[in-house]
Amino acid sequence: MDWQELTDLTHGRPFVVERVRLADSGVAIEGQFEPPQLAQLGIEDQVFVAAFVRSHGSIKEMERVFGVSYPTVKARLKRIAVQLDFVDIEPAAPGADVVDRLRRGEISAQEALAELENSR
């Protein structure tokens, strides 16, 4: 079964994958796994995202392929974007990991100061 069939069966309702089999080794892993965010989109939105990536993010190309206007493409992208959690691409402040470890009690204040001084 492919993702499209699974998406059709679930009618966009949330689902959990409970078993994963590694194709090359036959090893199976059981548990509760949330499917990737893109797989949780409806099939039409999956096709739209795939087309957007294939067009290298060209809205003009999306207008041509789907026969819709620029505002329609932008509105659909915004609607899809709301459904996706984005990875924070802001770099962490220097020493943020040291401060986090200090807060969790994993290192002492002395060790934190030493690490911060050594990272300069």
Which residue carries 């795939």 as its tokens? 50
In this prediction, residue 89 has a pLDDT band, given cuts at 50, 70 and 90, of: low
Indicate the domain borders of the chain.
3-82, 92-120
Q: Quick one: which of 76, 3, 81 has its CA closest to 36? A: 3
What are the tens digits of pLDDT across the range 26-66? 899 999 988 888 888 888 899 999 999 999 999 999 999 99
Phi, psi dihedral angles at 8 (to 5 degrees): -65, -40
| The pLDDT of residue 120 is above 80 | no
Class of domain 3-82: mainly alpha
